[in-house]
Amino acid sequence: MRQALIQQIGFQDLLSPEPPFDPQLIEEVDKGDYIRQKILLRTGPALLMPVYLLIPKVGDRPLPTVIAYHGHGYGEMYNLAGLIAPRPMLVESADRDPIFPHFAVEKSVVKARQVYQVFQASDQLETDYFPCGHQISVARAYDFLKEKLRH
């Protein structure tokens, strides 16, 4: 079953001897209450995606984690969604974004839903599709975070 799941969602790339994401720490800044790290992840043979990791300095461990990654290459990023499952995930996408086509996001969400179904956690994957061009929306995001990050 594991091999079938790997093939279905495209995890075979994760099994290669070379790390697929090849994380590179390129910046670390002390922001007072937290440390901000800027990391580059390889999302394809010629694609790098910058991400920020915000690490609180205080708080009982383990702390909840939020992963927010920009849409660059999102159509190819359903494998990250698979690594998040069965934990909560919100995907938001503008329906008229000329840079990151909505159809690619929808295609990735379909694949991510297959993974969440394996974990019987379909209710943990949410979408917020909104009518707009290239921008983000927080119509659902802040409430989602409040709900999901409660201890």
CA pair distance 111, 69, nearest whole angstrom: 17
Contact 117, 86 (CB under 8 A): no
pLDDT at 10 > cutoff 70: no
Query: 43 or 16: which carries more pLDDT confidence?
Result: 43
Written as six digits, the tokens of 33 are: 């209450």
pLDDT at 17 > cutoff 70: no
pTM above 0.75, yes or no: no
CA pair distance 25, 149, nearest whole angstrom: 26
Distances (CA, A) of 30 to 16, 39, 60: 35, 15, 20
Q: Which residues pair with 51 in a beta bridge?
A: 39
Handedness of CA 40, 43, 49, 55 (dihedral sign): negative
Confidence class of residue 71 from pLDDT cuts 50, 70 and 90?
A: low
Written as six digits, the tokens of 112 are: 């991510």
How far, rounded to the nearest angstrom, does the alpha carbon of residue 13 sit from its chain's CA centroid?
17
* DSSP result, 115-146: HHHHTT-GGGEEEEEES-SS----TTHHHHHH
